[in-house]
Structure 1
Amino acid sequence: MRRTRLAALAVAATVALFALMAGIGSSIPRNAGWQAPAHGVTIMVETNGVHTALVLPLVSEQVDWRRVFPVQHVAAAGRPYTHLAISWGEREVFLNTPTWWDLRPGTVARIAGLGGDGLLHVAHYVRPAPSAQLRPLVLRPEEYRRLVAAIGRSLPPPEARHYPGYGAQDVFYDAPGRYTVRNTCNQWTSDMLAAAGVRIGWWTPAAGGVMKWVPETPDGNS
């Protein structure tokens, strides 16, 4: 019993330390002087409370994502899609945990200790509406171009495999990168935004560390 209690205390202390460091790291800004422009390319930052994604226009002057992520890769290929949600994460978690209830303690322990291979998740949307979980962010054209270039470094090679998604409108792709405690799915999101020049936290392992930098409306009002 004593060993069990000590082990439980050690786990609790580790979690508390991680949360403390994540809170500190996500509060230190990169690109501290950045301010959103009044006009430009509107993207969105999406969260489900645990994971974040970048929601981008399907076609813009900077990029035509249809050439990169063919709509034929999703089951519902005939819909009039306007946006893509792009995110990066750990391969086994993405493929084998359609809901968070499917996540096993052994998987969490393995990722915490050893990490895992990266995987891209791409979902196709039709005119997504802003909400508390889907927040618009305006970028200057050159900033959006830098964002596209940064995402390009996470893209799969042309011969990479793709896998069915959770529904009829999404798909997974093999992708470079190694998922670790330091390099999480939410860190990927903030790294992409930082590469564009957006003000965002330095270390954002949790979704909240990303979303606290993105106001619920472009003018900063809730």
Structure 2
Amino acid sequence: MAARSDRPDHGGLIVPRTSRLARRAASLLALLVVAVVLAAWLTARPGDPGLYPPAPGAETVTVRLVAGAWHSGLLLPRSDLARAAAEAGDGALVEVTERFGAYPALEIGWGDAGFYRAVPTIDALDWRLALRALFTPGGRPAVLHVVGVAAEPEAAFPGAGIVSLPLSRAGFGRLVAALGRSFALRDGHPAILGPGLYGPSLFYEARGRFSLLNVCNHWSAGLLHEAGLPVTPLLDTLPRGLALDLAWRAGGPRPHAP
């Protein structure tokens, strides 16, 4: 009696088990890609054409997204920031710009209070802190990191992806208003927590809760959305994803690094 094979006969062809497993894996991968694309499309937030892009010939303010390996921040011209804060009557934000008055630009980022202050570089990454920051129920307290920047962006942030975005004055004003709401105040003043991670910098107490669904890159994207840009939160979870999202949907230049 002939030995029985555990491989089915398809039209006289013996299909190896490894081939069937490979096809199943490919099908699952395709379904995952479709699910991610669908989720990105469903969660995409449209821009405001009345704010962005600026009308031809209109006055603009250039804001830069600085996208590192795991974190992103916004590089803002200090004089324009001070002007918009004063026009909005945001005394706390004016105070921040005056404290860094010697610098032409400010780099500002938002993140988990514990992780952000303890992990200055990707080499110092502590996975326990990272997992705690991402998965604590209800989220965790946040901080803002403000750095005075005197050098050109590419020199100040070597290796980072930088996206330059010309904003309308009205859009920039909306961004500044949202930024002002990010600072936690004590007796009407921004609450300083201590020295920052590099250069002339400080940590400030921030509003909001950090979690997997609200990371630093979502904060950056949120401020740009206030300025009228379309964003895609699912893609914006990672800094390079945010940079590519801006290049794709907002018509910004592709991120570059020196």
SS at 1:46's partner residue? Answer: strand
TM-score w.r.t. length of structure 2: 0.66
**Deviation string, structure 1 residues 43-82 (Cα, Å, up to 9, x no partner):** 11111132111111101242369733266579xxxxx410
Q: Which residue of 2 aligns with 1:200?
A: 231
**Higher helix fraction: Structure 1 or Structure 2?**
2
Residue 35 in structure 1 maps to residue 53 in structure 2: yes
SS of structure 2 residue aligned to 1:119: strand
What one-letter code is carried by the residue in structure 2 that aligns with 1:210? Answer: L
TM-score normalised over the length of structure 1? 0.76
**1:13-45 residue CA offsets vs partner (Å, 9 max, x unmatched):** xxx99x948983698342175435555111111
RMSD: 3.4
Structure 1 stretches of 4+ with a deviation exceeding 4 A read: 19-23, 36-39, 70-74, 218-222
Q: Which moved more, 1:98-107 or 1:56-65?
A: 56-65
Tell me the amino acid that sits aligned with residue 119 of structure 1.
Answer: V
Which runs of no fewer than 5 residues in structure 1 stay unpaired?
1-15, 75-79
- Residues 116-141 of structure 1 deviation map (CA, whole Å, 9 limit, x = unaligned): 21000111111524597222110110
Cα separation, 2, equivalents of 1:178 and 1:135? 26
CA contact (8 A) 1:59 1:66 kept: no
Shift of 1:179: 0.2
Moved more, 51-60 or 62-71: 62-71
Paired with 1:181 and 1:83, the residues of 2 have a C-alpha distance of: 29
1:175 equivalent to 2:206? Answer yes
Give structure 2 stretches of 5+ with no counterpart.
1-31, 87-91
Identity %: 24
Q: Helix, strand or coil for the counterpart of 1:187?
A: helix
1:125 counterpart (149, 153, 157)? 149
**8 Å Cα contact 2:142-2:205 kept in structure 1:** yes
Deviation at 1:98, TM superposition (A): 1.6
1:189 aligns with: 220
- 1:73-123 CA distances to partner (integer Å, 9 max, x unpaired)? 79xxxxx41000111000111111122222222212212320321000111
Which of the residues 113, 119, 125 maps onto 1:91?
A: 113
Tell me which amino acid in the other structure corresponds to 1:88.
Answer: W
Flag the structure with more relative contact order, 1 or 2, with Cα contacts below 8 A and sequence separation at least 6.
Answer: 1
| 1:139 matched to 2:167 | yes
Superposition map of 1:107-122 within 5 A: 107-114=129-136, 115-122=139-146
Q: Say whether the 8 Å CA contact 2:115–2:133 is kept in structure 1.
A: no
State which structure, 1 or 2, has the greater radius of gyration over its C-alpha atoms: 2
Count of matched residue pairs: 201
